[in-house]
């Protein structure tokens, strides 16, 4: 390491690397570019200086709450209720997809440097930003979880257009996803109400993930109710939420932990490919059990990359509402049951 830095110099370095890296990742189309950029900013300081640079614990909670609002703003109650008679089939496929994820996590945890909780949260399919935000609170190594989760999302996004084009041959006749034109004042009010009510509710609910889930629930209710009209989370606030989580995970890296994660990457990539194949088979099962076409079923069960999945579905002419419903059900189930899962895995004897 280069030695001591002043706190101001360290913060300046982290901010500079975050901005530059996030911009480059955004241009390259990397998912959650700011999360990756801020993670790299924290890592660069942590690996090049012995200065202990920490942010206030409240900033991590704010990051969790903001990510909850971002996720909540994407949830459509209408999409969830539109599942109708397919709810049993969707529930079975959702459980099957989660079990596939947990099996992959269990295989990863066979390594001596990966706990059961870390393996499960690293490989679980869906809600990457939410899982990363609560991983440390639930006893997982959030450094491993962050790298593996976003590597999975990146791999899914790389493989998805190839599989879509080669296997399903869509004619691209569908309509593009509509983009709501919202007012900044209304959007800021939406975020403020979601944060204030959500954090107040979180204080009343003795669940570890409530700081993320309560703002998520309030944001989803407000967005679906239409009381404030069409609303969205302004991009700078999204970036702030991702950055507050990414930086603090990055600052906890050491050379030893980075080397450990690098060594496990071949196994992780193999497990991820297996997951993608297995969830594709679950999609085939969904197509058999419901009236939806094969492409819609495949996109609905794809393990990650919600926004890219929805864009692909719209571009290919698939049933976007169905795809969103299945993806959101899995995301909500994962975020709701992570505390229970963490308790079960912690109590179970490590093999």
How far apart are the C-alpha atoms of 36 and 313, rounded to whole Å? 25
What per-residue confidence (pLDDT) applies to 307?
Answer: 62
Q: How many residues does the chain have?
A: 351
pLDDT tens figures, 290-305: 888 888 899 888 887 6
pLDDT tens figures, 208-236: 678 888 998 899 899 888 888 888 899 89
How far apart are the C-alpha atoms of 106 and 337, rounded to whole Å? 17
Give the list of residues 6+ apart from residue 154 with CB closer than 8 angstroms, or none.
30, 31
Query: For residues 244 and 324, which has the higher predicted lDDT (pLDDT)?
Result: 244
Give the alpha-carbon dihedral of 205, 210, 216, 221, to 10 degrees: -10
Residue 71: CB atoms within 10 A of its CB come to: 26
Residue pointed to by tokens 């079923």 = 297
Mean pLDDT for the stretch of residues 51-76:
85
Of the given ranges (94-108, 143-157, 233-247, 310-324), which has the lowest mean pLDDT?
Answer: 310-324
- What average pLDDT does the chain have? 83
What per-residue confidence (pLDDT) applies to 16?
Answer: 96
Q: Pick the closest to residue 302 from 329, 331, 332, 276 (CA basis).
A: 276
Global pTM? Answer: 0.71
What per-residue confidence (pLDDT) applies to 290?
Answer: 82
Structure tokens, 114: 């990966």
Query: For residues 157 and 329, which has the higher predicted lDDT (pLDDT)?
Result: 329
Computed over its alpha carbons, how large is the radius of gyration of the chain?
20
What per-residue confidence (pLDDT) applies to 106?
Answer: 93
How far apart are the C-alpha atoms of 326 and 80, rounded to whole Å? 8
* Longest CA pairwise span in the chain (Å): 63
What per-residue confidence (pLDDT) applies to 351?
Answer: 52
Give the list of residues 6+ apart from residue 172 with CB closer than 8 angstroms, or none.
315, 316, 317
Q: How confident is the model at residue 147 (pLDDT cuts 50, 70, 90)?
A: confident
Give the alpha-carbon dihedral of 221, 246, 126, 120, to 10 degrees: -130
Burial class (CB in 10 A: 0-12, 13-18, 19+), 347: exposed
What per-residue confidence (pLDDT) applies to 311?
Answer: 60
The H-assigned helical ranges of 109-204 are: 116-123, 128-135, 142-163, 184-204
In this structure, CATH architecture of domain 54-347: Up-down Bundle (1.20)
């Amino acid at each position: 390491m280069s030695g001591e830095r002043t706190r101001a110099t360290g913060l300046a370095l982290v901010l500079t690397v975050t901005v530059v890296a996030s911009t480059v990742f955004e241009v390259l189309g990397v998912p959650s570019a700011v999360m990756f950029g801020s993670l790299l900013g924290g890592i660069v300081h942590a690996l090049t200086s012995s200065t202990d640079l920490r942010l206030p614990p409240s900033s991590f909670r704010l990051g969790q709450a903001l990510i909850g609002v971002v996720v909540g703003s994407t949830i459509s109650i209408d999409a969830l209720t539109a599942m109708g008679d397919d709810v049993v089939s969707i529930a079975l496929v959702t459980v099957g997809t989660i079990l596939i994820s947990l099996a992959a996590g269990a295989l990863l945890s066979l390594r001596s440097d990966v706990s059961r909780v870390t393996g499960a949260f690293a490989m679980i399919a869906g809600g990457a930003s939410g899982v990363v935000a609560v991983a440390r609170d639930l006893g997982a190594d959030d450094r491993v979880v962050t790298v593996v989760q976003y590597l999975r999302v990146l791999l899914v996004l790389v493989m998805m257009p190839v599989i879509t084009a080669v296997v399903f041959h869509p004619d691209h006749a569908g309509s593009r996803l509509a983009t709501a034109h919202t007012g900044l004042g209304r959007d800021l009010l939406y975020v403020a109400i979601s944060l204030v009510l959500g954090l107040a509710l979180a204080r009343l609910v003795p669940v570890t993930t409530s700081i993320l889930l309560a703002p998520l629930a309030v944001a989803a209710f407000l967005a679906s109710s239409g009381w404030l009209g069409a609303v969205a989370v302004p991009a700078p606030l999204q970036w702030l939420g991702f950055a507050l989580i990414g930086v603090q995970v990055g600052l906890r890296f050491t050379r030893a932990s980075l080397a450990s994660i690098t060594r496990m990457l071949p196994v992780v990539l193999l497990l991820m490919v297996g997951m993608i194949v297995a969830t594709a088979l679950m999609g085939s099962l969904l197509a058999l059990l419901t009236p939806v076409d094969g492409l819609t079923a495949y996109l609905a069960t794809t393990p990650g990359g919600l926004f890219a999945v929805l864009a692909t579905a719209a571009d290919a002419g698939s049933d976007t509402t169905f795809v969103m419903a299945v993806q959101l059900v899995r995301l909500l189930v994962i975020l709701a049951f992570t505390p229970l899962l963490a308790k079960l895995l912690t109590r179970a004897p490590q093999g």
